[in-house]
Amino acid sequence: MFYPISLLIPLMVMLPNLLFVRFKPQNVRAGTKKNPILIAAEGVGRFAVMIVPLFFQVHLHASYEIIALLMMSCSLFMYYLGWGRYYSNLREYKLLFAPMLGIPVPLAIAPSLYFLFSAVILHSGYMVIFSVIFAVGHITNSLRDYYAALD
Q: Give this prediction's pTM.
A: 0.95
pLDDT of residue 1: 87
Please, which pLDDT band fits residue 151 given cuts at 50, 70 and 90? Answer: confident
Give 72's contacts (C-beta < 8 A, 6+ positions apart).
114, 117, 118, 121
Q: Which residue has the higher pLDDT, 14 or 27?
A: 14
- How confident is the prediction for the chain on average, in pLDDT? 94
pLDDT at 64 over 90: yes
Map out the domains of the chain as residue ranges: 4-150
Mean pLDDT of 31-48: 92
Say if CB 64 and CB 120 are below 8 A apart.
Answer: yes
pLDDT at 32 over 80: no
Q: What is the DSSP letter of 104?
A: S
H-only helix segments in 8-124: 8-22, 36-51, 63-88, 106-122
8 exposed, middle or buried (CB, 10 Å; 0-12, 13-18, 19+)? exposed
pLDDT at 28 over 90: no
Q: Which residue has the higher pLDDT, 41 or 29?
A: 41
Give 94's contacts (C-beta < 8 A, 6+ positions apart).
27, 146, 149, 150
